[in-house]
Chains A and B, each alone.
Chain A
Amino acid sequence: MTAPAPLLQVRHLRVEFPTRRGTLLALDDVSFDIAPGEVLGVVGESGAGKSLTGAAIIGLLEPPGRIAGGEILLDGRRIDNLPADQMRRVRGRQIGAIFQDPLTSLNPLYTVGRQLIETITTHLGLSAKQARARAIELLAATGIPAPEARVDQYPHQFSGGMRQRVVIALALAADPKLIVADEPTTALDVSIQAQIIALLKRVCREQGAAVMLVTHDMGVIAETCDRVAVMYAGRVAEIGPVQEVIHRPGHPYTSGLMGSIPAMDEDRERLVQIDGAMPRLTAIPTGCAFHPRCPRAFDRCHGQRPELMQAPATAAACWLHAADLAVAQGGVA
């Protein structure tokens, strides 16, 4: 993944939530790149910080959450410190967003067409007539039958899968370079999920858009992504090509996660079980945050925090891979 210059660069991103009982560190030193046309999956369990990473990139962190450190670069330009009005132009024009629940991301009081046309005229400066033609074109491209009639309907007249197609059309309206999709299929039935994933893959390939796909579903990741980042307790635990992460995981958390998914092609009496639960933000363990649940934890894991280091096939934040590398380099991080 070194050939093209990265489209999105996230460097040492740190997100904090100041609360009455002290500051919670929700994302801590998160770094990754996405190349043009690449699909990066971000997986993790609830509370791992995957949706927050997406929200930070599109500049929609819920206050009091704020970016407290690090930087986000889109096409080499910093976007994490842009004023709100400039960020609004980047969002929509250069970054499209798709959220989990298609009902709440559409305005129920406006027709689908009006919402699309608003986005198109705002970002592309087309006339109302051209924008309407473009809106119909987008609805057709996302597989909505009879787009000329559907464009004047309200969101409640669409089914869940159709609404998610509208949301995708909306995200693609201004030909963005990056699409942040946060659990786009979680609220949908499996048969519809397959249609939406196929659609997302097709339109992104056609438009050459890079995608950050946030989901908890490893199956969706395996089918869609080029690379995957596994998050745990606000940090990237492992990142690498999707097949390597699935079949040769370097981090014990990733192995546990893969083993706990019931497989369709083998019979197991018991699933691999990771005991315990993800720590709360108020009580993140010292050292490696995974060490209390880790079957392979040793002394070093308790006291010293591992950074991403070269594992056999991926990069993993785990001291198990330190011996051959960190020593030679005099310690990573």
Chain B
Amino acid sequence: MTVLSETARESGSPDAAPAPGEVLVDVRDLAKTFDVSAPWLNRVVERKPRQFVHAVDGVSFRIEKGRTLALVGESGCGKSTVARLLVGLYAPTQGEVRFDGADIAATLKGPKALALRRRMQMIFQDPYASLNPRWKVQDIVAEPLREHGLVRDAQALKRRVGELLQSVGLAPADAEKFPHQFSGGQRQRISIARALATEPEFLVCDEPTSALDVSVQAQVLNIMKDLQRKQGLTYLFISHNLAVVRHVADQVGVMYLGRLVEQADKRALFAAPRHPYTRMLLDAIPDIHMSGRSRTPVQGEVPNPLNPPSGCSFHPRCPHANARCSSERPKLLEIQGIRVACHAVEEGRL
């Protein structure tokens, strides 16, 4: 992933930052607003205004080919919305997502939609809800192949499904079974096999292991890393678990109330987090090797996204906040190779 300063973007030279690898996904100033207003009649009778949630609010990042970007944050920070925007399940309110140079929202409306969909796939959180219980595994995994017209012959289809199942550590004979005959971890592997069917370059994984037990999570994470190594896959990995993120990611983006507050190389972020929210998150993780250590007490809760705080949305919980933080929204600036949106860091107070 290339780090890109605000100034470089504004001056219209996106290549100003050093580009060591080829960028596959380029997200620019992406925003998604949901209308959560009460029905018209209620609004009129109760004199309520329209209400909007800014689920994603001006997020920009890039993912290089063959690398993993992880987005972390607590519930309601907009990370899953970003995932859905990236694969075109939602249309952005503002901004754009470029995949291999082409704008996704525009392409999906045009004649090349199918070709684009083939190159990106998604793995969902809940392996119990994302597989049709009335379909055999054969049909589930073969669906994308059939949909995209990649394999038409029944024999070849069966062979291909067998290969796909083997690539995720299941047996070709499992194709004849139904999803309920598998455990959670095995089901998640079926989801991965289905996602891999069209030989995509880019996989969006929305909390792929958070419904799984740790030993099964280890199996799934190992498979995902093996596949990336063998097939050069690019991942966007959404998770709330920082330990998992630390294991799988190359780059980590931290989100808070719809905005990216910090983004850095994994090592830099975990060794020296800059944004106070990132520090707080890292402090909050219970770690099996740090027993008895007293943690920095975390103050407060995530504010209601319907009514986010002014200025920096983290300022009510931030120990370093001052007047500027409550009035002026910090920009995501590149400081020593780390992108961080914090006045205190920018001013050198932190």
What residues of B have a CB within 8 angstroms of the CB of A278 in the complex?
A: 183, 213
In the assembled complex, B91 has its CB within 8 A of some CB on chain A = no
In the assembled complex, A269 has its CB within 8 A of some CB on chain B = yes
| Distance in Å: Cβ of B193 to nearest Cβ of chain A | 17
In the assembled complex, A283 has its CB within 8 A of some CB on chain B = no
Stretch of B120-128, B134-142, B287-295, B327-335 with 4 or more beta carbons under 8 angstroms from chain A: B287-295
Q: Is the CB of A45 within 8 A of B215?
A: yes
| Distance in Å: Cβ of B24 to nearest Cβ of chain A | 23
Q: Is the CB of A190 within 8 A of B74?
A: yes
Q: Which of A190, A221, A263 contacts B284 (CB 8 A)?
A: A190
Q: Is the CB of A218 within 8 A of B74?
A: no
Q: Is the CB of A264 within 8 A of B242?
A: yes
Residues of chain B from 289 to 336 with CB closer than 8 A to chain A in the complex: 289-293, 295, 297-298, 301-302
Most chain A beta-carbon neighbours within 10 Å: one of B185, B225, B240, B285? B285
What residues of A have a CB within 8 angstroms of the CB of B301 in the complex?
A: 159, 161-162, 191-192
Q: Is the CB of A222 within 8 A of B214?
A: no
Residues of chain A from 175 to 227 with CB closer than 8 A to chain B in the complex: 189-195, 197-198, 216-223
Q: Chain B: residues with CB nearer than 8 A to chain A?
A: 74-75, 183-186, 213-219, 221-222, 225, 240-244, 246-247, 270, 280-293, 295, 297-298, 301-302
Cα–Cα, bound, A193→B285 (Å): 9
What residues of A have a CB within 8 angstroms of the CB of B270 in the complex?
A: 264
Q: Is the CB of B280 within 8 A of A261?
A: no
In the assembled complex, A273 has its CB within 8 A of some CB on chain B = yes
Cα–Cα, bound, A194→B219 (Å): 27
How many A residues are at the interface, by size bracket?
A: 35 or more
Q: Is the CB of A270 within 8 A of B225?
A: yes
Q: Is the CB of B215 within 8 A of A189?
A: no
| Distance in Å: Cβ of A139 to nearest Cβ of chain B | 16
Q: Is the CB of A277 within 8 A of B288?
A: no
| Distance in Å: Cβ of B299 to nearest Cβ of chain A | 9
Q: Which of B186, B247, B281, B282 contacts A268 (CB 8 A)?
A: B247
Q: Is the CB of A195 within 8 A of B298?
A: yes
10 cross-chain pairs, A with B, having the tightest CB-CB distances, nearest first: A219-B286, A260-B218, A45-B213, A271-B218, A262-B247, A189-B74, A262-B243, A194-B284, A274-B215, A222-B291
Cα–Cα, bound, A45→B217 (Å): 11
Most chain A beta-carbon neighbours within 10 Å: one of B213, B287, B292? B213
What residues of A have a CB within 8 angstroms of the CB of B184 in the complex?
A: 46
In the assembled complex, A275 has its CB within 8 A of some CB on chain B = yes
| Distance in Å: Cβ of A40 to nearest Cβ of chain B | 15
Q: Which of A260, A262, A264 contacts B215 (CB 8 A)?
A: A260
